[in-house]
Amino acid sequence: MKLSGKIVKSAEMLGVVGDVSAHCDIPCGIYDPHLAQLAAHTVIRMIDLIEEQVPPGADATPEQFRDYTHGISRYMLVKEEHAELCKHEIRIMWGDYFKPDHIKEHPEIHELVWEVMRLASIAKQEVDIEHAEELLDTIHKIAEIFWATKGVESKKTRSAYPTEREVVVPQL
C-alpha cells in the first residue's frame, strides 16, 4: 500500500476524516416553476380528453372497444405521469431552491407545497376537473412567490394551450 493510502486508512480508522462537497445539483441554480405549470395544464387537458370520449355502445365492434380502451388508457397514463411531475417539480423547488429567508417572507410556502402534493395525488386517483384546476391554481401561487423571491415581477396571463387556462409568467 502506498504511503498516501496508509495515511487515508489510518485517518479513517481514527475517525478524523471530514467530508467536503464538490457536488452540484445540475443544472446549477436553474429553477423555473414553468414545468410544474405545464404538467398541471397537461393533467387538465387529459381530463378534458377523457371526458370527451364517447364510450362504445353495446353493438360496438371489437375494434371500437379496443380503440376506446386504448385512447382512455393513454390519457390516464399521461394524467398519472404529469400529476407526478407536478409533485416532482414542486418538491425540487421546495427542497433545493426555497431557503429560510424565503419562508420568512412567504410563510405560506409550506402549506402551498403540501396542497400541491395532496391535489396531485387526487389528480391521479380521480377524473375531477375541479381538483385539477385547484392544483393549477396552487402551482400558480408558488410560481408567483418564486418570481417574487427573484425580484422579478410576474403576471398571470391566458395561455395558448388547448386548456385555455392561465399561466404565470415572469416580466423579464
Q: Which residues contribute to the site for another protein (CB under 8 A)?
A: 4-5, 7-8, 11, 16-26, 28-29, 99
* Cα gap 22→63, rounded to integer Å: 57
Contact indicator for 37, 167 with CB cutoff of 8 Å: yes
Judged by CB, which is closer to another protein: 31, or 161? 31
| List of residues 6+ apart from 158 with CB closer than 8 A | 164, 165, 166, 167
Contact indicator for 108, 102 with CB cutoff of 8 Å: no
Judged by CB, which is closer to another protein: 22, or 172? 22
CB of 144 to another protein, least distance (A): 23
* Cα gap 76→127, rounded to integer Å: 9
Judged by CB, which is closer to another protein: 22, or 54? 22
CB of 98 to another protein, least distance (A): 12
CB of 109 to another protein, least distance (A): 17
Judged by CB, which is closer to another protein: 4, or 61? 4
Which residues partner with 170 through β-bridges?
Answer: 154
Judged by CB, which is closer to another protein: 99, or 158? 99
* Cα gap 46→127, rounded to integer Å: 9
CB of 20 to another protein, least distance (A): 4
CB of 11 to another protein, least distance (A): 5
Measured in residues, the chain has a length of: 172
